[in-house]
Amino acid sequence: MLPTLGIGDMNNLYKWLLNLNSVVMPLRYLWVFVAFIAVVRLAQKYKPEYVFIRNKPLAMTVGILVFCFTAFACLTGIFPKMEAFTAEWTFQLALNVATPFVLVGLGLIFPLLARKANSK
């Protein structure tokens, strides 16, 4: 309901949701790249069965570069694709910034609620 307060019509709302999806969905891959970097860093301690890149410095470089490229693409995608600094642009930018934090917050809260419900 909140997006309809600052976004004109249904067509603009639909376009905004598509653009928001193009920002939020790639953000999940940042966790994959963080996990890859962690596996490479801790390979001495845990001895993984499969090694994607055997050269540790090269693997770290690839992991960090891919993480940085994905983060850069997501951050530049946050800016709405319309005339800048209008009221609608500012509203969409604020929602584009807040939505990933809300989704991560829900992702942290829901397992706690499920654990509490299952313990009863």
Tokens of residue 55, six digits: 């050269």
pLDDT by residue, tens only, the chain of 120 residues: 556 667 777 888 888 888 888 888 888 899 999 999 999 999 889 888 888 899 999 999 999 999 999 999 999 989 988 899 998 889 889 989 998 899 889 999 999 999 999 998
Tokens of residue 51, six digits: 């090694």
Residues 6 or more apart whose Cβ sits within 8 Å of residue 65: none
- CA dist 70 and 56 (Å) reads 21
**The predicted structure's pLDDT at residue 4:** 62
> CB of 70 within 8 A of CB of 30?
yes
- CA dist 20 and 3 (Å) reads 12
**The predicted structure's pLDDT at residue 50:** 85
| pTM metric for this prediction | 0.75
